[in-house]
Chains A and B, each alone.
Chain A
Amino acid sequence: MQELFIDSVTHIFGEQTILNGVFINCKIGEVVGLLGRNGSGKSTLLKIIFGSIKPDNKYLKLDDKLLTKGYLSKEISYLPQDNFIPNEITVSDAIEIFCKTHQQKLLEIQFVYNNLKKKFRNFSGGESRFLEALILIYSDSKFALLDEPFSQLAPLLVDEVKQQIHYMKQFKGFIITDHYYRSILDVSNRVVLLHNGSNYKINNIDDLILHGYLPDLKA
């Protein structure tokens, strides 16, 4: 089974240790949810895996091959928090560039099919986010790192993204982080919490309360 594996991630920013020996792995067919408070290092960890941030220490492997920067392997894609497809690109151009293998399935989504000729500058923030998320979910890479894919999306679109992730996980692995923790719990096979620079395995909502991610309403 093909696997993305990162271990011993340590990242110090100024005097603050953001990540301290963090470990995470993801196999094809798996959706790993990554939760954590603001500033806990979720996005930083995804950027370290992708290769856009250089940490103080890391050990990154993809299918037993050691990597320095994830993106250079062309097997890891990353959805950043901000829009990443330039405004002058049309939807069909973006699909042509990123989604060669599963293009037909992506074109079955009505919103995508109806807007193929439209440039990204002509979409609203939410629509643009929705399209970018879909394009990376259907991209040719083996692993997709999605940083807040549900933000800015209306509930119907959130559901659509969840369905598409569910469909595509037979072909690739996903690591997803978002503050919509219920959506993360719905879509993930397993959940990891980043807290105090370390990672914790989460089995249920009680674990999230135990580690201080959710308020304890019973108390």
Chain B
Amino acid sequence: MSIALLKKSLLVYKPLLLWNILLSMLIGLFFVIDGFNKPGAYAMALIMKPIGWAFCFIVELFFFKKASYFYKNMGLSFRKILANIILYDVVILILVVTLCLLCRNFLLTVLPTYLVNKQY
């Protein structure tokens, strides 16, 4: 897991990482709505994240083919870049879910009330 490698990956794969962060936030939302003691959100996370990574792989295959020589000329293989992006993505997912766990009550009650009534 390397910051330098992440910086290089983001030169091209920024949209893919953003897409995966969006998925992580969606999973976080499931945890907020469904709670942390029911298996539904965990199952959703286990299904959605691999789908997100498979989507990245397909997008790379069709739209980022040109980038393969760009990275190979840096001495990097696509496998290494993908593994690094997935690792960061897992870290981001854990952070999002932890944040949702800590702020669940706020997100479920205080925030909607504030948004509707403009007061706590």
Chain A residues in contact with chain B, CB under 8 A? 50-52, 69, 71-74, 77-78, 80, 82-86, 88-89, 93, 97-98, 136, 139, 141
For A83, the chain B residues whose CB sits under 8 A away are 66
Give me the 4 closest cross-chain CB pairs, A-B, nearest first: A74-B75, A84-B69, A71-B72, A77-B73
Query: A72 touching B74 by the CB < 8 A rule?
Result: no
What's the least CB distance linking B90 to chain A, in Å? 25
- In this complex, what residue of A is CB-closest to B74? A97
**Residue of B8, B64, B72, B77 with most partner-chain A CB within 10 A:** B72
- Give A111 to B38 CA distance when docked, in angstroms: 62
Query: B73 touching A78 by the CB < 8 A rule?
Result: yes
Query: A86 touching B73 by the CB < 8 A rule?
Result: no
For A78, the chain B residues whose CB sits under 8 A away are 69, 72-73
What's the least CB distance linking B34 to chain A, in Å? 38
A85-B11 contact in complex given A71-B75, A72-B75, A72-B77, C-beta closer than 8 Å? no
Partner of B72, one of A52, A86, A139: A52
What's the least CB distance linking A167 to chain B, in Å? 20
Query: B69 touching A86 by the CB < 8 A rule?
Result: no
Query: A84 touching B70 by the CB < 8 A rule?
Result: yes
- Give A80 to B11 CA distance when docked, in angstroms: 20
| Dominant secondary structure at the B interface | helix
What's the least CB distance linking B41 to chain A, in Å? 36
What's the least CB distance linking A99 to chain B, in Å? 11
A89-B72 contact in complex given A72-B77, A83-B66, A84-B66, C-beta closer than 8 Å? no
Chain B residues in contact with chain A, CB under 8 A? 8, 11-12, 64, 66-70, 72-75, 77
A85-B70 contact in complex given A93-B11, A97-B8, C-beta closer than 8 Å? yes
For B77, the chain A residues whose CB sits under 8 A away are 69, 71-72
Query: A89 touching B73 by the CB < 8 A rule?
Result: no
Query: B70 touching A86 by the CB < 8 A rule?
Result: yes
Query: A98 touching B72 by the CB < 8 A rule?
Result: no
- Give A83 to B74 CA distance when docked, in angstroms: 15
- Please name 30 pairs of A and B residues whose Cβ atoms are closer than 8 Å in the assembled complex, sorted by A: A50-B72, A51-B72, A52-B68, A52-B69, A69-B77, A71-B75, A71-B77, A72-B75, A73-B75, A74-B74, A74-B75, A77-B73, A78-B72, A78-B73, A80-B69, A82-B66, A83-B66, A84-B69, A84-B73, A85-B70, A86-B67, A86-B70, A88-B11, A88-B12, A89-B11, A89-B70, A97-B11, A98-B73, A139-B73, A141-B73
For B68, the chain A residues whose CB sits under 8 A away are 52
For A50, the chain B residues whose CB sits under 8 A away are 72
For B64, the chain A residues whose CB sits under 8 A away are 86
- Give A167 to B8 CA distance when docked, in angstroms: 29
For A89, the chain B residues whose CB sits under 8 A away are 11, 70
For B12, the chain A residues whose CB sits under 8 A away are 86, 88
**Residue of B8, B64, B67, B75 with most partner-chain A CB within 10 A:** B75
- In this complex, what residue of B is CB-closest to A93? B11
- In this complex, what residue of B is CB-closest to A73? B75
